[in-house]
Amino acid sequence: MKADYDVIVVGAGPGGSFAAKKAAKAGASVLLIDRRKELGAPVRCGEGLGSHWLDELGLKVSPKAISAEISGSVLYSPNMKREVKIQNPETRGYVIDRKVFDKDLAIDAGRAGAEVIAKTEVYEVIKKDGKICGVKANRAGEKFEASCKVLIAADGGESTIARMAGMDSTASLYDTDFGVEYEMVNVECQDLIEIYFSKTAAPRGYVWVFPKGKDVANVGVGIGGLEKGNAVEYLDRFIKNNKRFEGAQTVAIKGGLIPVGEPLKELVADGLMVVGTAAHQVDPIHGGGMALAMEAGDMAGEVAAKCAAEGKTDKKSLYEYESRWRKKVEPKLMRRLRLRKVLEKLDDDDFNAIFENLDDADIDKLIKGDYKPVVQKVLLKRPQLLKVLTALI
């Protein structure tokens, strides 16, 4: 192990591994650090990944990392009287095995030239004249220091690296969802991701069922951080009230916090870049961040290698990553955030009315961000929602 690197990446999740791989392929010397003993564990997401993301990122998923292929999604109204199937190229994809997938991404980073070390905790960020220039870490009881030209924080929500570097990486309770998920067997599955909308079952959130095989599924719930009760209680109640799960058994439990508000106000500082969930680069509607993290990591790794080679790693130079990300990705997320804030104000009767008065194509438009024609159609049947829905147009 060397003592000096062009780029150090902390966090070997999808975003961190993508950043490390991109920087290494560009010729930078890279160290990828992760505190976990086993990469990819514990799993904290539904594990869905759209195939269009694989095409966009130029990524091939190994067969062993695929748990199930999915043809789309099905959305259920609160009263269960209406279901909407969304099946198109953008909804096709896979439910993956994150343990295998994350490990494969880290291996790809290693093959590109990055040095990868696990079971290593960064306990201090080194600064010189206010600029990030390295880390102090503990690897299985052995402390060491490593210097770098660029440090990339990819260590998940409430990023300790960003915080140690002087950034505010916290999210308010209002902008945080609490999620819990059971991996269950003896569950009848279809080749669709199932989404259940109900303020009773999941206030400020939803319930999901992700198929992982013939009779295996991830069944979870996400609720708003300010809601009473806890996510486990809501999920247990949903399962108990659904005859489909009468013979099902829980074989694993996962959970965590999800930042679902705006991305961080700043993504870079002198010598520092922040990517993925650490930067709150998460879809505000469904809380997914895996693909977004890889996209951001790809951008950050390229810019980090370039700036390190040029010897220009100040905030202004590294801002190229932030500028590119905000131009390409942020507008989509902000539109989704607007939709989330509207959905949060609707009760179950409102949701039922929307499902009843919109056809499948309308719902698809809503998901894709084409709000105006859908809002106009809803208001014809439910004019009392004018004040709430106006925010979308």
In this structure, the number of other CB atoms found within 10 A of the CB of residue 58 comes to 7
Q: Using omega within 30 degrees of 0 as the cis cutoff, is the peptide bond preceding 42 cis?
A: yes
Distance CA 313, CA 132 (A): 9
Contact call for residues 10 and 16 (beta carbons, < 8 A): yes
Q: Can you state the angle between helices 315-328 and 330-343, rounded to 10 degrees?
A: 60
Domain with CATH 3.30.9.10 in the chain: 69-94+173-258
Please tell me the distance from the alpha carbon of residue 185 to that of residue 361, in angstroms, as a whole number: 33
Q: Are 269 and 125 in contact (CB under 8 A)?
A: no
SS3 at position 373: helix
Report how far residue 303's alpha carbon sits from residue 87's, in angstroms, rounded to the nearest whole number. 36
Please report, in tens digits, the pLDDT of each residue of the chain (393 residues total).
789 999 999 999 999 999 999 999 999 999 999 998 877 776 666 688 989 898 899 999 999 999 999 999 999 999 999 999 988 888 899 999 999 999 999 999 999 999 999 999 999 999 999 999 999 999 989 999 999 999 999 999 889 999 999 998 889 999 999 999 999 999 999 999 999 999 999 998 999 999 998 899 999 999 998 888 889 999 999 999 999 999 999 999 998 889 999 999 999 999 999 999 999 999 998 888 999 999 999 999 999 999 999 999 999 999 999 999 999 999 999 999 998 998 888 899 989 988 988 888 888 888 888 888 888 888 888 888 887 888 777
Q: Identify the CA nearest to 300 among candidates 333, 278, 332, 331.
A: 278
- Angstrom distances, CA of residue 201 to CA of 65, 166, 206, 229: 31, 39, 7, 11
What six digits make up the tokens of 99? 């343990």
Question: What is the CB-side half-sphere exposure of residue 42 using CA atoms within 13 A?
Answer: 10
Give the alpha-carbon dihedral of 125, 119, 114, 59, to 10 degrees: -110
Pairing of strands 72-76, 192-196: parallel
Contact 331, 50 (CB under 8 A): no
| Integer CA distances (angstroms), 186 to 231, 247, 249, in order | 22, 6, 7
Buried b (16+ CB within 10 A) or exposed e, 312-329: ebeeebbbbbbeebeeeb
Residues of the chain with CATH 3.50.50.60: 4-60+97-171+261-333
What does residue 321 show for φ and ψ, rounded to 5 degrees?
-60, -50
Q: How far apart are CA 115 and CA 148, in angstroms?
A: 13
Report pLDDT for 225. Answer: 87
Fold topology of 4-60+97-171+261-333: FAD/NAD(P)-binding domain (3.50.50)
- Rg (C-alpha) for the chain, rounded Å, is 21
CA angle 62, 45, 343 (to 5 degrees): 130
Specify the pLDDT at position 391: 79
The 3-class secondary structure across 253-269, one letter per residue, is EEEEEEECCCCCCCCEE
Q: Tell me which fold the domain 69-94+173-258 belongs to.
A: D-Amino Acid Oxidase; Chain A, domain 2 (3.30.9)
Q: Please say whether the dihedral angle defined by the alpha carbons of residues 16, 21, 22 and 24, taken in this order, is positive or negative.
A: positive
Where is 241: in which H helix or E strand? none
